[in-house]
Amino acid sequence: MSESPPTTPVCYRHPGRETYVRCSRCDRPICPDCMREASVGHQCPECVNEGRRSVRPARTAFGGGTAGRHGYVTKALIALNVLLMLLSIASDRGGDAAVGGSGFGGLMGGSTPLTNWGSVLGLAVFPDGTLGGVADGEWYRLVTAMFLHYGVIHLLLNMWALWVLGRSLEANLGPLRFGALYLIAGLGGNVAAYLFSAQNSATAGASTAVFGLFAALIIIERKLGQDISQVIPILVINLVFTLTVPGISIPGHLGGLVVGGAMALVLAYAPRGRRTLVQVAGGAIILLILLGLVLFRTAQLLAG
């Protein structure tokens, strides 16, 4: 009885193609179209996909994605602030809001219709006789104010600080955690301005969030064992600047510093095993506290 001749293996995905190459993982024959380079030999598409699903994505020391090293959120925040500055200037038919107005060297340039609409304002009667402000239901001001500025110098100072601080923090925290830090710090500063400023005093600027980033950088760098000796003097200079230059919102800056620092502590010291859960819960608790303070101040103003 004669033996049957050996058959040539065919690709398991393309039965009409003969091949002598096998997947180094599952040992099935694969043709050139199905070959995927591997550390040893070639793998089939299914094994490659299975391997990708089993590999955990790289994370920063605080649980964030490594895409933060590109600084996408920092760049997007700067772009948004610049865009709103341009819209603010365009809304001012007088044209003096960019460099004019009161304050140190034009730092607190003139207000515009856009800053009047979006700045933190407790409760005030407008020239047309209407009532407005956070206490009147315009809660959006607590968010919009962190993206509006009184003059180009005011904008440039804040954007320079955001560029320097933001890239480092975003690389260490990841895009989502850095974005949350920025927004919560900015909101905290605006809530403090609402609490402790005169009810008819308007405030705006990204400095509420920027001061939070200063506090966060010190906490994050300290947690990583980095030298913070160069950061503290810059923060002290900014605090002196805040306390001595007329027209700057002291509650806004200090509020952003405190709330940004609190959020940074949550992000930096959340236990590794339940890191994301603790970070989300911590951020939610901070937001609830801020909400309670807003409700308290609103009731106070309406009662007065």
> Does residue 228 sit in helix, strand or coil?
coil
pLDDT tens, 167-200?
A: 999 999 999 999 999 999 999 999 999 999 999 9
> Does residue 302 sit in helix, strand or coil?
helix
Question: Can you tell me the distance from the alpha carbon of 219 to that of 228, in angstroms, rounded to the nearest whole number?
Answer: 9
Q: Is the pLDDT of residue 118 over 70?
A: yes
Check residue 230 and give its pLDDT: 82
Q: Where does residue 220 rank: exposed (0-12), middle (13-18), buried (19+ CB within 10 A)? A: buried
Quick one: residue 225, left, alpha or beta (phi over 0 = left, psi -120 to 50 = alpha)?
left
Check residue 248 and give its pLDDT: 85
What mean pLDDT is predicted for residues 120-140? 89
C-beta contacts of 163-166 below 8 A and 24+ residues apart: 163/74, 163/78, 165/210, 165/213, 165/214, 165/216, 165/217, 166/71, 166/73, 166/74, 166/77, 166/78, 166/213
Q: Is the pLDDT of residue 245 over 90?
A: no
pLDDT tens, 61-98?
A: 787 777 878 899 999 999 999 999 999 888 877 555 55
Which of the two residues, 39 and 164, has the higher pLDDT score?
A: 164
Q: Which of 72-76, 113-117, 233-237 has the highest mean pLDDT?
A: 72-76
Active-site annotation holder among 42, 149, 154, 253: 253
91 is catalytic: no
24 is catalytic: no
Which of the two residues, 2 and 183, has the higher pLDDT score?
A: 183
Buried b (16+ CB within 10 A) or exposed e, 188-212: bbbbbbbbebebeebbbbbbbbbbb
**CA 135 to each of CA 55, 122, 146: distance values in angstroms, whole numbers, following the listed order:** 51, 6, 18
Check residue 54 and give its pLDDT: 60
Give the least confident one: 12-21, 69-78, 115-124, 279-288.
12-21
Is-above-0.95 flag for pTM? no
The pLDDT-based confidence of 106 (bands split at 50, 70, 90) is: very low
Check residue 105 and give its pLDDT: 37
What mean pLDDT is predicted for residues 126-146? 91
CATH superfamily of 69-303: Rhomboid-like (1.20.1540.10)
Check residue 21 and give its pLDDT: 85
Check residue 8 and give its pLDDT: 77
Share of the chain above pLDDT 70, in %: 90
Would you list the domain boundaries of the chain? 1-55, 69-303
Q: Is the pLDDT of residue 110 over 80?
A: no
What mean pLDDT is predicted for residues 10-18? 86
Q: Is the pLDDT of residue 107 over 80?
A: no
Check residue 6 and give its pLDDT: 57
Mean pLDDT taken over the chain: 86
Active-site annotation holder among 111, 197, 207, 249: 207
**CA 158 to each of CA 65, 89, 218: distance values in angstroms, whole numbers, following the listed order:** 26, 17, 18
